[in-house]
Structure 1
């Protein structure tokens, strides 16, 4: 569905993309640039560049065309399948892989790889998430459970809702701790000041993270985080909230941090009841090489 906006500039001044982003929170600067390039943004009925300096009295017309439908293509991505039976697949997702297609990531996602691996995946209400019952971020590595049929999807989603799954993560975070264990019980919602971020927000959904400090280094710590709920960016938001943002996190962490390919966060352990037999299944995935190497460096630096 096409969306149309019209802005009458009264006294604002500045770059075209900046003024529009401040006025229309649903449009990112990247999206605005795309619309300008496609001549879907006109100033006084004329196409301008994003760098155009807006003046009082300008009339800005914005047309946002409907998103292009996502096509699901099977791609051989050499997925690391940890376990598979008639109902479920457990896959170890590498860091850097997106879970399902989206406007910014149309292919080479976990779903594309799953479609190549099998024709048996549970239907998805959205259509572009077959088999997916939960997600981990692009730059988070580790274990995901995938449903191969609708019965399995319903069972796994119910287990998630009833908080009877086991989901344990390892993370390198900034700073040291005075206590070994803790529970972060703080609701998470969209950050009103940054649409790309989530934040602890009283209007958000309930979110609970349990953490245990496993090792402490100079300026950093290795922690185990256990999810009771599964909100978007939950561990990243919660650890920042208590003053220990994840190392390497480009969205929530400080600029001076450990070099890598995003946050050092790994979904190490996953446990759930098999949808048909109701037998408890539990799996673990080793740390990625870059994560293990960073721990070795921190241990070496701490000794010195």
Structure 2
């Protein structure tokens, strides 16, 4: 694709201070600025016949700019027909209600049967977010259920990632924890990093030792004797964040075999009682506000009913 900087007063005024990446983004709308920056870094852009790898290069009137877009490499992942509970879908964005037990993207020990394999069978996905995780904007743990967003295009991916970074996208969870909190709401502001001994776990770790800033807001939705239904909102998105923060304040998530004692509650849970309940974001193309609510899985509803009966409480005290 070859472009020329026009010798018109509008372009002359615009390009006197335009950087290469900024100017290309204004001319090639189908590519995000982040994608253009990568193409520049990978020597896929020339100015007047010479390769340019600096995104900061100033574009001048009369420059001849050529951008080469490499052919997309075929993903080694195989599409698999796995049922998807679709909450929202259009040409740019897909939001599903993930069940427990479904790994989001392939990794060692889980090369197949993942959400990515299912997505590849459902719809075309650009090779974004890494070869092993095309379209995955954020992740959910294997046994955490609920709403997860998938981008179908590079533009959508970059836009949604920017929303998460700017904290304008809202991710809200429901979870049942052990114990009764002393207050009705609170915030856990503790850095999270790899556990210093068990490298498969995360833990509250000082930033000086590698922990990353992590903030979780919580509210009590329903008190159930020695258990509590909690509403969480993430300000950051660290691995196992809610699970680690809940364990840190002495109220681990019920059914969490990694961060709690795994006490029996009388319900056969497939994993931790944690559900990504509500996802609010801005559509990456139209700018429309989108809010999607993922119905909780039957096993979570069963757990709540069992705990209510033990306390002599009425059913359906909290409307989902």
Distance 2:304 2:198 in 1: 32
**1:134 corresponds to 2:159:** no
Distance 1:247 1:194 in 2: 21
Query: 1:99-114 maps to which residues of 2 (within 5 A)?
Result: 99-114=104-119
The TM-score normalised by the length of structure 2 is 0.71
**1:117 corresponds to 2:122:** yes
Deviation at 1:237, TM superposition (A): 0.2
Contact 1:142 1:268 in 2 (8 A): yes
**1:218 corresponds to 2:218:** no
2:317 maps to none
Contact 1:71 1:106 in 2 (8 A): no
Query: 1:36-185 maps to which residues of 2 (within 5 A)?
Result: 71-119=76-124, 121-185=125-189
Counterpart selection for 2:212 from 202, 205, 210: 205
Distance 1:266 1:125 in 2: 24
1:52 maps to none
Q: CA RMSD in A?
A: 1.2
Distance 1:267 1:209 in 2: 14
What whole-Å deviation, never above 9, does each CA across 1:37-62 have from its counterpart, x for those lacking one?
xxxxxxxxxxxxxxxxxxxxxxxxxx
SS at match of 1:73: coil
Q: Give the gaps of 5 or more residues in structure 1.
A: 1-69
Contact 2:129 2:137 in 1 (8 A): no
Distance 1:151 1:82 in 2: 21
Distance 2:272 2:128 in 1: 29
1:234 maps to 241
Counterpart selection for 2:292 from 283, 294, 304: 283
Contact 2:254 2:262 in 1 (8 A): no
Distance 2:215 2:264 in 1: 26
Deviation at 1:103, TM superposition (A): 1.1
Deviation at 1:296, TM superposition (A): 0.1
Distance 2:117 2:225 in 1: 41
The TM-score normalised by the length of structure 1 is 0.75
Residues 286/130 of structure 1: CA separation in 2 closer, same or farther (3 Å cut): same
Deviation at 1:125, TM superposition (A): 4.8
SS at match of 2:277: strand
**1:296 corresponds to 2:305:** yes
Deviation at 1:257, TM superposition (A): 3.6
Distance 1:122 1:179 in 2: 46
Moved more, 256-265 or 223-232: 256-265
1:251 maps to 258
SS at match of 1:239: helix
Deviation at 1:283, TM superposition (A): 0.4
SS at match of 1:72: coil
Aligned residues: 234
Deviation at 1:76, TM superposition (A): 0.8
Runs of 4+ in 1 over 6 A off after TM superposition: none
Contact 1:167 1:226 in 2 (8 A): yes
Contact 2:129 2:136 in 1 (8 A): no
Larger Rg: 2
Distance 2:102 2:129 in 1: 22
What whole-Å deviation, never above 9, does each CA across 1:186-208 have from its counterpart, x for those lacking one?
11000101111100111211100
